[in-house]
Chains A and B, each alone.
Chain A
Amino acid sequence: MTKLAYLKESPSQTAGPYVHIGCTPNVIGNDGIYPQDLGAAMITGPAKGEQITFAGRIFDGTGTVLRDAMVEIWQADAQGIYNSPAETRGAADPNFTGFGRQAVDMESGAFTFETLKPGRVPFPDGRLQAPHINIWIVARGINLGLNTRAYFSDEETANADDPVLARIEHKHRIQTLIAQKERNTYTLDIYLQGERETVFFDI
């Protein structure tokens, strides 16, 4: 039998404990190579929409906070448009990159993104997804980057109709993806294991 001539994806390997050297060198004092770390600022000018803080921590199976993880987020602007050449529906707000990258704080384990509340983005079948932030987590001990999402606690109606949340069979687990609002900060703690294990996606 002849095989179809497809290549295989390069297999993943852990980012390891020293991911900062390559991805956020200024955070560990390796300055002078890059003027600033990639993804450090998401809002680059007078962007339209509601400015928010998106914060949280990541916990392992013993409830210990990860202090060596790197978190990347990717989201639409306030109108629901992605700042990407692959966006098909028009131009995004030029003052908002939609991409954030942070090493978690090496003491507290916290990540804290200054960003915008995203607008709604359609699913392939045309239904609107609830506002959400796409999250990618890498760290020592994580062999393949973990994908999850943050939704917003003050978007109950939209969340109830969200086609991705609808894929979650055990409804009580949806709560693991809802960032809780307090003033203009939305907080989502991420649990890699245990009773409160966050829902992770195979995208």
Chain B
Amino acid sequence: MTQHDGAYFPRDRNWHPKLLTPDYKTSVLRSPQKPLISFGNSLSETTGPVFGHNDLGELDSDLIQNYARSGESALGERIIVHGRVLDESGRPVPQVLIEVWQANAGGRYRHKKDGYLAPLDPNFGGCGRALSDDNGYYAFRTIKPGPYPWPNGVNDWRPAHIHFSLFGSGFAQRLITQMYFEGDPHIALCPIVNTIKDPQAIDMLTAKLDMNNTIPMNARAYRFDLVLRGRRSTLFENRLEGN
């Protein structure tokens, strides 16, 4: 069997947002100006922390219940967010720790720095995590977050979104991104979304309504697949010359 244990494929930094994106104003003073230094992966990049089921609690992937008082649940549109984590070669990535955070149904975060006038939901923390299985599959249950205003232009609103953080098998795969919802008119208007130039890349971050996996009379499903960096095969790299 081919060993995919070589270096990670280089990151396509034209596909990702650039670091300096003036329409997202905070990036102007927080973006390195000098060229990044490139080098081939060593074990420092191909290894990484890996987590297991012992690190997770029973309700970690259920944001409707994991902060709720007994007998109560979070307010909002009940949804299931699910999908697969693949690498760039299309292979499932198992045991990926996926952490999510989000605003409540009114667009308010449970965070001392968030002063938006929409109220907190006493039953919603906005934080969850899950581990992908052997097929790369993961699922969360939550409520659909609300859009919220933010100080950038005079009237900028974030589309409804869920923040995602992923640990692959190597530290070089570490990724934080955001998930948007199909059909949201704020996607096209958002300066943070538009730090990404390729419409196909934005589409990758847009979860699709999945009626087949919607639970009747209970919760709608949104499908959201994620892709982490792939690794080169070392078939020839480990073969000595002349053998």
Contacts and interface: CB of A to CB of B under 8 A. Distances in A.
Interface of A: 5-23, 25, 28-30, 32-35, 38-39, 60-62, 64, 66, 68, 72, 74, 76, 82-89, 97-99, 106, 121-124, 129, 132, 134, 136, 138-147, 149, 163-164, 167-168, 173, 192-193, 197-203
Interface of B: 5, 7-13, 15-19, 21, 24, 26-34, 36-51, 55, 57, 60, 66-67, 86-90, 97, 99-102, 109-114, 125-129, 163, 165, 169-172, 174-178, 192-193, 195-196, 198, 200-202, 204-205, 226-230
B127 A21 contact: yes
Contact of A139 (B15, B30, B46, B110): B30
6 contacts: A11-B177, A12-B176, A122-B42, A198-B32, A199-B34, A203-B172
B49 A23 contact: no
A144 B125 contact: no
B13 to A, nearest CB: 7
Contacts of B102: 21
A121 B44 contact: yes
B31 A20 contact: no
Contact of B49 (A68, A99, A122, A200): A99
A82 B174 CA distance: 16
Contact of B45 (A8, A17, A134, A144): A134
B192 A25 contact: no
Contacts of B33: 193, 197
Contacts of B230: 6-7
Contact of A32 (B37, B47, B67, B201): B67
Contacts of B192: 13-14
Contacts of B200: 8
Given A13-B17, A164-B39, 4 more contacts: A18-B113, A38-B99, A68-B113, A82-B47
Given A10-B227, A15-B163, A199-B37, A21 B110 contact: yes
A8 B225 CA distance: 12
A81 to B, nearest CB: 9
A82 B60 CA distance: 27
A92 B47 CA distance: 12
A97 B38 CA distance: 27
A34 B66 CA distance: 9
Contacts of B175: 9-10, 12, 145
9 shortest interchain CB distances as A-B pairs:
A22-B101, A141-B26, A99-B49, A84-B47, A141-B30, A143-B17, A61-B29, A82-B47, A202-B36
Given A8-B88, A86-B169, A203 B45 contact: yes
A182 to B, nearest CB: 25
B90 A7 contact: yes
A59 B7 CA distance: 31
B127 A11 contact: no
Given A142-B31, A143-B195, A163 B67 contact: no
Contacts of B113: 17-18, 68, 106
A134 B205 contact: no
B146 to A, nearest CB: 14
Given A6-B89, A132-B44, A83 B30 contact: no
B11 A202 contact: yes
Contacts of A19: 101, 163, 176
Contacts of A74: 44, 47-49, 171
A142 B163 CA distance: 14
B218 to A, nearest CB: 23
